[in-house]
Chains A and B, each alone.
Chain A
Amino acid sequence: MAEFEPKIIAFCCNWCTYAAADIAGTSRIHYPANVRIVRVMCSGMVDPIYILKAFEMGADGVLIAGCHEADCHYLNGPLKCDAMFEKIKRVVNILGLEGERLRREMIAAAEAPVFAELIEEMVKQLKKLGPSPLREGVKV
Chain B
Amino acid sequence: MEEPRIGVYVCHCGTNIAGTVDVEEVAKYAETLPHVVVARHYPYTCSDPGQELIKKDIKELGVNRVVVASCSPRLHEKTFQGVLREAGLNPYLFQMANIREQCSWLHEPGPELTEKAKRMVGAAVNRVSRHVPLEMRAVPIFPATLVVGGGIAGMQAALEIANSNHMVYIVEREPSIGGHMAQFDKTFPTLDCAACILTPRMTEVSRHPFIRILTYSEVVAISGYVGNFKIKIRRKPRYVDEGKCIGCLVCQEKCPWTALSEFNAGTSKRKAIYTPFPQAVPNIPVIDAEHCAYFLKEKCRACEKFCDANAINFEQSELIFELEVGNIIIATGFDTFDASSIPQYGYGRYPNVFTSMEFERLCSPTGPTEGHIILADGRQPESVAIVHCVGSRDKNYNEYCSRVCCMHALKYSHLIKEKTNAAIYQMYIDMRCFGKGYEEFYNRISNEGVNFIRGKVAKVTDEAIAEEEKGKLIVLVEDTLLGTMLRVPVDMVILCIALEPRKDANEVARLFHLGRSADGFFLERHPKLDPVATMSEGILIAGCCQGPKDIPDSVAQASAAAARALAMIARGKIEVPAITAAIDETECSGCRICNLLCPYDAIFFDDEAKVSRINQVMCQGCGVCAAACPSGAITHNYFTVEEITAEIEGVLA
Query: Using a CB–CB distance below 8 Å, which chain A residues touch chain B?
Result: 5, 7, 9, 14-15, 18-19, 21-22, 24-26, 28-33, 36-42, 44-50, 53-54, 57-59, 70-71, 73-77, 80, 84, 109-110
User: A-B pairs with the 5 shortest C-beta distances?
Assistant: A45-B623, A25-B101, A74-B622, A57-B652, A75-B599
Check A53–B645 contact: CB distance below 8 A: yes
The contact string, 1 if C-beta is below 8 Å from chain A, for chain B 631-648, is 000001001010011011
How many whole Å from A114's CB to the nearest CB in chain B? Answer: 14
Check B579–A41 contact: CB distance below 8 A: yes
How many whole Å from A104's CB to the nearest CB in chain B? Answer: 14
User: Considering only CB atoms and an 8 Å cut-off, how many residues of chain B contact the other chain?
Assistant: 48
18 contacts between A and B (CB under 8 A): A7-B652, A14-B74, A19-B74, A22-B102, A24-B101, A25-B103, A33-B106, A38-B123, A38-B647, A42-B622, A42-B624, A44-B627, A45-B623, A50-B641, A57-B648, A57-B652, A73-B513, A77-B624
Q: In the docked arrangement, what's the CA distance between A96 and B471, Å?
A: 80
The contact string, 1 if C-beta is below 8 Å from chain A, for chain B 50-75, is 00000000000000000000001110
Check B639–A37 contact: CB distance below 8 A: no
Query: Using a CB–CB distance below 8 Å, which chain B residues touch chain A?
Result: 72-74, 98, 100-103, 105-108, 110, 112-113, 115-116, 119-120, 123, 510, 513, 515, 518, 535, 579, 597, 599-600, 620-624, 626-628, 636, 639, 641, 644-645, 647-649, 651-653
Task: Give the number of residue pairs across the A-B interface with Cβ within 8 Å.
Answer: 128
List 7 additional contacts besides A38-B123, A41-B623, A50-B644; criterion CB under 8 Å.
Answer: A38-B644, A40-B639, A47-B626, A57-B649, A59-B652, A73-B622, A74-B600
Q: Which residue of A lies closest to B625 (CB)?
A: A45
A32-B107, A80-B624 given as contacts; is B515 within 8 A of A109 (CB)?
yes
How many whole Å from B389's CB to the nearest CB in chain A? Answer: 26
Check B627–A46 contact: CB distance below 8 A: yes
Check B518–A47 contact: CB distance below 8 A: no
Check B641–A49 contact: CB distance below 8 A: yes
Check A37–B622 contact: CB distance below 8 A: no
Q: In the docked arrangement, what's the CA distance between A36 and B518, Å?
A: 28
Q: Which residue of A lies closest to B517 (CB)?
A: A110
Check B599–A49 contact: CB distance below 8 A: no
A9-B651, A24-B106, A25-B106 given as contacts; is B101 within 8 A of A40 (CB)?
no
Check B623–A42 contact: CB distance below 8 A: yes
Q: Which residues of B contact A22 (CB under 8 A)?
A: 72, 74, 98, 101-102
A33-B106, A45-B627, A84-B627 given as contacts; is B599 within 8 A of A76 (CB)?
yes
Q: Which residues of A contact B624 (CB under 8 A)?
A: 42, 44-45, 74, 77, 80
Which listed residue, A39, A41, A48, A84, touches B622 by the CB 8 Å rule? Answer: A41
How many whole Å from B642's CB to the nearest CB in chain A? Answer: 11
Check B652–A44 contact: CB distance below 8 A: no
Q: In the docked arrangement, what's the CA distance between A47 and B98, Å?
A: 23
Q: Which residue of B lies closest to A74 (CB)?
A: B622
Which listed residue, B98, B103, B106, B636, touches A45 by the CB 8 Å rule? Answer: B636
Q: Which residues of B contact A58 (CB under 8 A)?
A: 652
